[in-house]
Amino acid sequence: MNLVRGRKLYGRYIYAQAIVKKTEDPTDDSIIFLPNVYAVVAYNADGTKTAIFGNGAENNTIKSLTFELAETGCGAFSIKFNVLPTMAELKYKQRVDIFLFNDSRPWYSGYVTKRPISGTTETEYTFSGYGYYNLLEKVEIFGTYVSKEVSVIVRDIAKQAEAKIGIVYNADKIISTGYTIDTITFNGVTAKEALSQLSDFAIDYVYGVDTRRNLYFKPRTTTINEQARVWVGKHVDSYVPTWNVEKIVNWAKVKGNSDTNTEDQWLAIVEDTASQTLYGRQESIYTLPTYCTTTDAERWGQNQINKYKDPIKSATLKTVRLEYPKADGSFSVRKLTTDGLMAIYPLKVEMQTYPITKLKYSVSADKGIQLTDVEVGEQPITIDQYLANLERIAKNAELLS
């Protein structure tokens, strides 16, 4: 739950009044879950509610909705209405929180990027948007950090994000790494890119923006999430595992900026000899678009090798059952997040564990609340990811020029 190395993570919330306080979320045991109850709440910037939609509201106008949770927090969402909400109820860039099963804690928080225009001939009206992690693409980071512990740099980025885009800064959710970077310069990289690089220096940290719109930076949980222990055939309809050996890299050169001038320079060579023995030497070139010393570049590169020295395990699951009865006969649900490992018990095969990558929830009048799609492990690259990587390579080349 909200525990990292024994520390409770408290949130800061925005209310209609000028109140800032620390509070704890209720526990699962204190929530009275109800089957197929859901609500979508829209808020003004000051935290006041403008509208409540859902089957608990009078004259519910929602036909269906979907939302995604990823390792970086809340992903994309889409809500289809039978009646078009007014601009006073739901406008562009407006925050929406989604609550499932009568839970008082939001399962999702995001903002509207697309909405239908009045006068359309459509008879169903789709609103869509993203979680607040997406806004970190709009924050450009400039500055040089010398002899700074990684989390100190992250806190500075979080404060900049709070000032520019309204993401809530919560120092308790940015966990110390114990590693001090010699020197790193960000010269116009996005906050997303900066956090990605800093997580590699930290070694196996995850980052993103959660359902309370808090930026987090914390160690990856490597133990099984008990909410994510499932048996194929009983809790899961479909389970398709995949191993990918094409991504193996066990020898690489790290390229970055010179310590003495702006020309490209090879900063380090990193490798894993055990992987080379098993799979042959698989080479790659890693490029750091930021200024780094040789020591930092070697640590960053070795972390890349550690990720890709072995075959990449992944799997997809369809229709994971969320509801289950408790011992006393009361109704309860799995509140699945991407925290921790999923334990899967396939048919006639020993248990397999994977890091949880993405969850897709859906709600509709005919099927109720469902966890329709689950991705675990690192999925094979899609064409969208391929094109995004090409754009990133071009930007890195521009920064290095």
Query: Using CB atoms within 10 A of its CB, is residue 19 exposed (0-12), middle (13-18) or buried (19+)?
Result: exposed
Q: What is the structure's pLDDT at 400?
A: 47
pLDDT of residue 395: 56
What pLDDT shows up at residue 389? 53
- Spatial separation of the C-alpha atoms in residues 225 and 227, rounded to whole Å: 5
Query: How many helices and strands, by DSSP H and E, does the chain display?
Result: 5, 27
For residue 292, which amino acid is it?
A: C
* Residue 223 structure tokens: 């133990």
Q: Per this entry, what is the length of the chain?
A: 401
> What's the N-to-C CA distance of the chain in angstroms?
45
Residue 166 has a pLDDT of: 85
Residue 266: per-residue pLDDT: 83
Q: For 290-330, where are the E strands, in sequence order?
A: 291-292, 312-320, 323-325
Written as one string, the DSSP assignment of 111-152 is: EEEE-PPTT---SSEEEEEEEGGGGGGG-EEEEEEEEEEHHH
For 161-229, the DSSP string reads HHHHH-PBP-GGGB---S-EEEEEEEEEEEHHHHHHHHHHHHSSEEEEE-TTSBEEEEEPP-SEEEEEE
pLDDT at 324: 82
Q: pLDDT per position in the chain (401 positions), as tens?
A: 333 433 333 333 333 333 333 446 777 777 889 999 999 999 998 889 999 998 866 678 899 999 999 999 999 999 999 999 999 899 999 999 999 999 999 999 999 999 998 888 888 999 999 999 999 999 999 999 999 999 999 999 999 999 999 899 999 999 999 989 988 899 889 999 999 989 888 878 999 999 999 999 999 999 999 999 999 999 999 999 988 888 889 999 988 755 444 445 788 899 999 989 998 999 998 887 566 778 888 888 888 888 888 888 899 999 999 998 777 778 889 999 999 999 999 988 899 999 999 999 999 988 899 999 999 988 655 444 444 455 555 555 554 45
Tokens 């996005």 found at: 190
Pairing assessment for the beta strands 236-244 and 312-320 based on DSSP bridges: antiparallel
* pLDDT at site 379: 65
User: Could you give the dihedral angle defined by the CA atoms of residues 263, 264, 265 and 269, in that order, rounded to the nearest 10 degrees?
Assistant: 170
Give, as one character, the DSSP assignment of residue 328. Answer: T
User: Residue 244: its pLDDT value, please?
Assistant: 83
CB atoms under 10 Å from CB of 217, counted, come to: 24
SS3 34: coil
Single pTM value for the model: 0.80
Q: What is the pLDDT of residue 4?
A: 40
